[in-house]
Chains A and B, each alone.
Chain A
């Protein structure tokens, strides 16, 4: 039973951890997909 409970705990930790890492690493759609200035797409 311990491995099962540990797995559920790990599931929660990994999920929130991954979310925080991605949020703080500039991977959001806004960060990756926009520019503050008009740009030519060939730039």
Chain B
């Protein structure tokens, strides 16, 4: 009986001691120093978890017992310590893989990207493209086709030369194919696999990838062509302010004067150049994985300027693992492409069903003189000359 009471006393004493230690602030005592349920939950919520308690706990190979001793061949690190070293990039790895990505054996920073890629990004795509399409359809129902207001002359003016139209159509055709194949990649798992099955989607996905990767070069070349062909005509000037103030006469009333390109077309041009350029650069980063790391350097620079603080945000992540660079590049590539696609929807609408006579500019290269007078009056004066405005074009 005395032994039993002694045992109870010992257990109670040690239990109280352990409890006191936990109360003293060692939050990981319950897991023997490993991560806790609170750590896991915080990580799942996307909160930043201080990893220092385990990132340094990778054993000490120098303290390993000599191999002549018992258990000496195990070295100075246990299995958990070795895995921690893999996770935090401090393990001495030998591999046949070359390149920066080979240094990352475990990449546990990508779950937010996967969730964003498979859910939020698709929602953005549906709302942005679907919303733009519906808005244009609604506008068409309300405003109808923008007709040529005056009497048609039967005379035409050369609007775009063959080389300009070649550049435009090379850009347009490549962009449309890139958009379709890009959407195949984006919506494949959620939409195409349920619709067509895995085998059919596999064929579509492989083909889409090949087409997307290789047609990208035509897009980049066309982007360069139209930049040099039209940049001079797209520099902003005072006529743009007047055009914008009247919304280009889009909702009725007189057409404000415009040169070869009105302010709306200039906005489209610069959107194509800037956003298309950004899509091209991020696309090259994806085409040659891990070669062009764009985001780590950008984030570091923005952090040094304190930009995140301007918006009450904490510093942007830096340094980034090679895979994280690719994840950011993929998201950027997709988001900017979606924005440009929505803009191009409006461009296609106004260049086709939305405006009478507009398609001729790129279709034939020649436009009805009256159309030109209404939409680009200053350009017509420039082409025909101020005194020859009423004369027939030779």
A→B interface (CB under 8 Å): 1-4, 6-8, 10-11, 14-16, 18-19, 27, 29, 32-41
Q: How many residue pairs between the two chains, A and B, have CB atoms under 8 Å in the bound complex?
A: 81
Residues B214 and A27 in contact, CB atoms below 8 Å apart: no
If A8-B169, A15-B211 touch, whether A38 touches B96 (CB-CB below 8 Å) is yes
With A7-B166, A11-B170, A39-B95 given, name 8 new contacts (CB 8 A).
Answer: A1-B363, A3-B169, A8-B173, A11-B177, A16-B214, A27-B288, A35-B97, A36-B96
Residues B96 and A34 in contact, CB atoms below 8 Å apart: yes
Q: How far is the CA of A33 from the CA of B215 in the complex (A)?
A: 24
B→A interface (CB under 8 Å): 92-99, 101-103, 162-163, 165-170, 172-174, 177, 210-211, 213-215, 217-218, 221-222, 288-289, 363-365
Residues A7 and B96 in contact, CB atoms below 8 Å apart: no
Residues A35 and B217 in contact, CB atoms below 8 Å apart: no
Chain A residues within an 8 Å CB radius of B94: 38-41
Q: How far is the CA of A27 from the CA of B290 in the complex (A)?
A: 13
Secondary structure class of chain A's binding surface, majority of residues? helix
Chain A residues within an 8 Å CB radius of B99: 32-33
Give A16's nearest chain B residue, CB to CB. Answer: B214
A-B contact pairs, 21 of them (CB 8 A): A3-B163, A3-B365, A6-B166, A7-B166, A7-B172, A7-B222, A8-B169, A11-B177, A15-B211, A15-B217, A18-B217, A19-B210, A19-B214, A27-B288, A29-B289, A32-B288, A33-B98, A38-B95, A39-B96, A41-B95, A41-B102
Give B166's nearest chain A residue, CB to CB. Answer: A3
Most buried by B among A36, A39, A40: A39
Q: How far is the CA of A39 from the CA of B93 in the complex (A)?
A: 9
Chain B residues within an 8 Å CB radius of A1: 363-364
Min Cβ gap A41→B in Å is 5
Most buried by B among A8, A11, A32, A35: A11
Chain A residues within an 8 Å CB radius of B221: 14
Q: How far is the CA of A18 from the CA of B213 in the complex (A)?
A: 9
Most buried by B among A1, A2, A32, A33: A33
Give B101's nearest chain A residue, CB to CB. Answer: A33
Closest 9 CB pairs of A and B: A7-B169, A3-B165, A15-B214, A3-B166, A7-B170, A18-B217, A14-B218, A4-B169, A19-B214
